[in-house]
Amino acid sequence: MMAQVIMEQVARPGAVSLSTIAVNNLTKRFPAPGAESSFTVLDSISLSVDEGEFVSIVGPSGCGKSTLLNIIAGIESYESGSVTVAPRAGKSDSGSRIGYVFQSPRLLNWLTVQDNIQFVLEAQNIPRSRWQELVAKHLDMVGLSGQERNYPLNLSGGMQQRVAIARVLAIEPDILLMDEPFSHLDAITARKMRLDLIDILTKARPTILFVTHDLAEAVFLSDRIYMMNAKPARIFNEVPVDISRPRKPEDSKILDLEKTLVREFFGVLEAKD
Amino acid sequence: MASGSISGVKSVSLRAGSIGLLLLLWWAGSRLMDDAEVLPGPVTIGLAIGADLAHAGPDGNSAFLHIGLTLARIIVAFAASMLAGIAIGLAMGLSAVLESALLIMIPLMLTMPTILMVFLAVMWFGFSEAGGLVAVMALVTPYVAVNIFEGTKAMDKSLIEMGVTFKARKSLLIRKVYLPQLMPYIFSAFRYAFGMTWKIVALAETFGLKYGIGSMFFFWFNST
């Protein structure tokens, strides 16, 4: 069964802090190989993301973060709990447009950069008359103007991931799900991409749920952080990041918070063992 | 090419050389056999082809009619088998139900002897064009289908997942994600299927049809 993403059609008047994404007591199991019992991947996960907010989920690799994003995107099923994705306030069409950025760029190498973006525009039934404008605007946003007719394999890894970001922004998503989008890049490229992402987000402001295993990255980018441990995945802490923007990656407040969170993380992981 | 690429001039001369060697072997064989009824040499055959093209055949039709009909049958039967094979292979790759239902049929169809299928088609359809077409499709389609099916198993799942995440419809996925990844498999099926079609059409003409290269072969085979 595919996940049921309940689209709340009616915007509630007066509801100021209506969450755009609301996950309540979500539990997901995979059948364990060779056993009668099943293996719990996500255990009673509850979280919320408000409109325009940048929220990160930090956890060790393989803790089920990607599964959680897939469930919110509506491409994976779950056993119990609820997942609600509400439309943006003032929008009357059928729910939210959800965009997804993967760990690797996942571009179609046989299509040009422009055709890769047009592929998702066609998938989302965006009228053909808007394609050229949307492609140009979002390639410009990620600093890749002039690469329209180039092929992905001629671009560096960082540029390919920029195309993937332009592709997802081109559908003008209300919600952006990002699954460790910079983890495959070298440290210098990843740092530049993070700064650029913040810059891009001042122009297009979707609600973002960002998954990472990198605490420094989470602290630098987010308004709020959920900390998750593994097997089964549970959220054990929620941390607001009250550091004013624009931020600098080497800001001592960011480094201090990162240190505190790293200590807490290892405390929890060691207590488990 | 596995052993590195070969320059254009070298490639042309290698091809010419291999054809030249074949002609030389043919010529030597005919000299050794020394019987033009059993194995005529290349020169004799060349002259005979010239004469056949210039004059009407035993049934009053020119060689061009027979050659043209054979080529037309090959093209139609080949195109139909390729399209059907690609469609079936793709459907098997996309649907687990079709996969398990059809996969068992493939070895059955692949082991069907060509001559048997041609005779069956003649029995079912008589001496008509449909017989040849059915024989080719029955024999070639499963081969193409199994190739394309193998191709669907080798596709990059993460790209399909990307398409699904962006809510791409099946038709868009097939055009932009599936088929481009299947091209190498389609080309390899293309080569083999073309050769198979050629042989089956000639055989079907030999036993089941009045016109075409195969029917003329049968005519002359019977009259000697």
Range of the domain at A212: 6-97+173-272
Long-range contacts at B121-125 (CB < 8 A, ≥ 24 apart): B121/B204, B121/B208, B122/B204, B122/B207, B122/B208
Residue B22 CB neighbours (<10 A) = 11
Q: Is the Cβ–Cβ distance between A2 and A71 less than 8 Å?
A: no
Assess if residue A178 is contained within a domain.
Answer: yes
Cβ–Cβ contact A156 with B under 8 A:
no
Long-range contacts at B158-161 (CB < 8 A, ≥ 24 apart): B158/A102, B158/A104, B158/A106, B159/A106, B159/A108, B161/A75, B161/A106
For residue range B102-122, list pLDDT tens digits in order.
Answer: 888 888 888 889 899 988 988
The residue with greater pLDDT, A204 or B215, is: B215
Q: Per-residue pLDDT averaged across B1-29, rounded? A: 84
Contact: A119, B168; criterion CB under 8 Å = yes
Contact: A100, B166; criterion CB under 8 Å = yes
Q: Is the Cβ–Cβ distance between B105 and B141 less than 8 Å?
A: no
Assess if residue A71 is contained within a domain.
Answer: yes
For residue range B160-181, list pLDDT tens digits in order.
Answer: 999 999 999 999 999 999 999 9
For residue range A140-176, list pLDDT tens digits in order.
Answer: 988 899 999 999 999 999 999 999 999 999 999 989 9
The residue with greater pLDDT, B129 or B74, is: B74
Q: Which residue has the tokens 């989008």?
A: A181
* Confidence label for A248 from pLDDT (cuts 50, 70 and 90): confident
* Confidence label for B1 from pLDDT (cuts 50, 70 and 90): very low
Segment (H or E) for A11: none
Contact: B164, A75; criterion CB under 8 Å = yes
**ipTM score here?**
0.82
pLDDT the model gives residue A91: 56
Q: What is the CATH number of the domain that holds A66?
A: 3.40.50.300
Coil/strand/helix, residue B168? coil
Q: Using CB atoms, which residue from B159, B161, B172 is nearest to A123?
A: B172
Of residues B141, B82, B139, the one with CA closest to residue B111: B139
Contact: B166, A123; criterion CB under 8 Å = yes
Inter-chain contacts counted by CB atoms under 8 A, chains A and B: 39
Assess if residue A113 is contained within a domain.
Answer: no
pLDDT at residue A34 tops 80: no
Count of domains observed in chain A? 1
Segment (H or E) for A178: strand A175-179
Assess if residue A159 is contained within a domain.
Answer: no
DSSP B174: I
pLDDT at residue B98 tops 70: yes
Cβ–Cβ contact A120 with B under 8 A:
yes
Which A residues in the span 190-219 are in contact with B, Cβ-Cβ below 8 Å? Answer: none
pLDDT the model gives residue A112: 97
By C-alpha distance, the chain A residue nearest B180 is: A110
Cβ–Cβ contact A104 with B under 8 A:
yes
Average pLDDT of chain A, as a whole number: 85
Assess if residue A114 is contained within a domain.
Answer: no
Q: How far is CA A239 from CA A62, A64, B223, in A?
A: 22, 20, 96
Assess if residue A145 is contained within a domain.
Answer: no
Q: Using CB atoms, which residue from B162, B164, B168 is nearest to A102?
A: B162
The residue with greater pLDDT, B61 or A112, is: A112
Residues of chain A positioned with their CB less than 8 A from the CB of B176: 108, 111, 119
pLDDT at residue A252 tops 50: yes
pLDDT at residue A273 tops 70: no
Name residue A9's amino acid.
Answer: Q
Contact: A73, B177; criterion CB under 8 Å = no
Crossing angle between the packed helical segments B213-222 and B179-208, to the nearest 10 degrees: 30
Assess if residue A129 is contained within a domain.
Answer: no
pLDDT at residue A5 tops 50: no
Assess if residue A74 is contained within a domain.
Answer: yes
Sketch out chain B's domains with CATH numbers.
1-55 (no CATH), 59-222 (1.10.3720.10)
For residue range B29-46, list pLDDT tens digits in order.
Answer: 999 988 878 889 999 899
Lowest mean pLDDT among A84-88, A264-268, B66-70, B82-86: A84-88
